[in-house]
Amino acid sequence: MHGNVRISGAKNSALPIIAASLVSTKKVILENIPDLVDVRTMIELVEYIGSEVEFSHNTLKMHTPKIKNFDAPYDIVRKMRASYYVLGALMARSNQAKVSLPGGCAIGPRPIDLHIKGMKALGVDINVSEGFINAKAKKLIGHDVNLQGPKGTSVGATINVMIAATGAKGDTVISSAACEPEVVDVADFLNVSGCHVSGQGTHTIVIKGSGSAKDVEYAVIPDRIEAGTFAVAAVLTGGSINITGCCPEHLASVLDKLEESGGRVTRKKNSMFVNGHGRKQAINVYVAPFPGFPTDMQAQFMALLATVPGTSTIKETIFENRFMQAVELMRMGADITIEGDTAVINGVRQLSSAYLMASDLRASASLVLAGLAAKGETIVRRIYHLDRGYEKFEEKLRSLGARIERQSE
């Protein structure tokens, strides 16, 4: 694959920023919002809650003069876990919320105890009954809270509590906060809209409760996982891709591993050139919270390492059950063994085509990449997962020379 590809806005920033926009009675204009199924679901949710929304050409205009509904119904939450961000936003705005409990998902059980712990620390009275989180407070009061979880920091809990704390009286200090670029992006957005958040990007975030008070125009950061996926595509297919509109700084751990495996990466401020012509070699990948190697990139790396000579390993430390792409890759001839949280991958000369079934968003991307490198025609089913997180994926791949088309089931 060869050519230029432009990266879309970050899904994992856009979703909480749209939810956080509920806090304000002022007008919000968001740029670089990717047109994804998950974004459409979040729009459906904020409209239900009371926002007026216009969304076209990656610009989202939103205004919420009045909250009409204080709940997030099951029918919407079941489609997208990130719906839980309206809990923090509704608490900041109006001290009450009722949010359907998100279920587990294909990548394993995904508890929300840290979100609840954070809300309770702010004085929120929470009870969980009949599948809903019922949250209420007379007034949110700023407080110190440690959000360390059993697997490390939590992106979702950090963001949710940070959003809620903007509506509290007094200061909140979140320790063991997640440092992911998306957390920083939400904090930056809150500051532009008149809040006072500091320490984002470190493990201690301080929020001075104040509420937000300004009209705001804000552009979300580029999607580092989409950029990383195209970088892997370049190395996997032995091609060269110029990836623009991205932020290589957010991808340091991924690019380091790509280089270690034989790819060559030229990093600029807002673009990078990835060349996969060279000799490949086996590597060991250890998944960890930012700035470590992102869990959202391990499936794509598994597709790459499946054809790299020698024995590679991937240790997944954040989600259980996140190696579902492995069995599908094995159906293409990959030699992979799963030992607990570690995948051992013995590179084969070439993958062969197969009928494949996608199981979650990043696994889907991994299978598409594997299909591009395999001999013959690969068919990936259940690609609706891809539409949750990659904007115009097959169009972008086609423009780089991939022979790929979407067919209805």
Q: Rounded CA gap, 338 and 332, in Å? A: 16
Residue from 2, 68, 139, 151 in contact with ligand UD1 (CB under 6 A): 151
How many other β-carbons are positioned within 10 Å of the β-carbon of residue 279?
Answer: 8
Which of the stretches 20-28, 109-117, 331-339, 343-351 binds ligand UD1 when contact is defined by CB under 6 A? 109-117
What the block records as the tokens of 188 is 């930056």
Q: Classify 135 as helix, strand or coil.
A: strand
Q: Which is it for strands 335-339 and 342-346: parallel, antiparallel or unpaired?
A: antiparallel
Does residue 69 sit in helix, strand or coil?
A: coil
Q: Which is nearer to ligand UD1, 93 or 388 (CB)?
A: 388
Residue 112 interacts with ligand UD1 (CB under 6 A): yes or no = yes
Q: Within 13 Å and on the Cβ side, how many CA atoms surround 186?
A: 34
Using CA atoms, how far apart are residues 205 and 307, in angstroms rounded to an integer? 42
Q: Name which of 154 and 242 has its Cβ closer to ligand UD1.
A: 154
Stretch of residues binding ligand UD1 (CB under 6 A), selected from 112-120, 201-209, 235-243, 331-339: 112-120
Q: Per the residue annotation, which of 105, 179, 195, 247 is the catalytic one?
A: 105
Angstrom CA distances, 207 to 45, 163, 165, stand at: 26, 9, 6
Does 12 bind ligand UD1 (CB under 6 A)? Our answer is: yes
Nearest to 197 by CA among 153, 167, 154, 156: 167
Binding map of ligand UD1 across residues 303-332, x = CB under 6 A, - = no contact: ---------------xx-------------
Binding of ligand UD1 by 296 (CB under 6 A):
yes
* Terminal alpha carbon distance of the chain: 27
- Residue from 3, 111, 170, 278 touching ligand UD1 (CB under 6 A): that is 111
Binding window for ligand UD1 (CB under 6 A); candidates: 52-60, 268-276, 294-302, 401-409: 294-302
CB of 111 to ligand UD1, least distance (A): 4
30, amino acid identity:
L
Q: Assign residue 376 a region: left if phi > 0, alpha if psi is -120 to 50, beta otherwise?
A: left
Q: Is 33 one of the binding residues for ligand UD1 (CB under 6 A)?
A: no
Q: 274 forms bridges with which residues in the sheet?
A: 241, 265
Q: Can you tell me which of 9, 142, 156, 209 binds ligand UD1, judged by CB under 6 A?
A: 156
Contact partners, residue 263, CB within 8 Å, separation at least 6: 231, 234, 235, 274, 275, 276, 278
Q: What is the DSSP letter of 220?
A: P
To ligand UD1, the closest distance from the beta carbon of 145 in angstroms equals: 12
Q: How far apart are CA 267 and CA 265, in angstroms?
A: 6
Q: How far is the CB of 226 from ligand UD1 (least distance, A)?
A: 12
Applying CB under 6 A, does 115 fall inside the site for ligand UD1?
Answer: yes
Residues 191, 182: Cα–Cα separation, whole Å: 14
Distance CA(151)–CA(216), nearest Å, equals 35
**Identity of the residue, 83 or 240, whose beta carbon is nearer to ligand UD1 in the bound complex:** 83
Please identify which residue in 114, 227, 314, 365 interacts with ligand UD1, judged by CB under 6 A: 114
**191-250: which residues touch ligand UD1 (CB under 6 A)?**
none
Residue whose Cβ sits closest to ligand UD1? 156
Does 105 qualify as catalytic in the annotation? yes
Give the integer Cα–Cα distance in Å for 390 and 367: 14
| Stretch binding ligand UD1 (CB under 6 A), from 147-155, 255-263, 278-286, 342-350 | 147-155
Q: Which of 321, 181, 177 is nearest to 254 (CA)?
A: 181
Cα 246 versus chain centre, distance: 15
Q: Verify binding: residue 2, ligand UD1, rule CB under 6 A.
A: no
* CA–CA separation, 255 and 228 (whole Å): 8
- Strand 284-286 with 196-198, pairing: unpaired
Per CB under 6 A, the segment of 145-153, 163-171, 298-306, 401-409 that binds ligand UD1 is 145-153
By beta-carbon proximity to ligand UD1, the closer residue of 135 and 332 is 135
According to the binding rule CB under 6 A, does residue 149 interact with ligand UD1? yes
Q: Which of 17, 28, 42, 155 binds ligand UD1 (CB under 6 A)?
A: 155
- Does the protein bind ligand UD1 through residue 103 (CB under 6 A)? no
Q: Which is nearer to ligand UD1, 113 or 215 (CB)?
A: 113
Interface of this chain with ligand UD1, residues 51 to 90, rule: CB under 6 A? 82
Residues that bind ligand UD1 (CB under 6 A): 12, 15, 82, 110-115, 149-151, 154-157, 178, 182, 294-296, 318-319
Catalytic (active-site) positions: 105
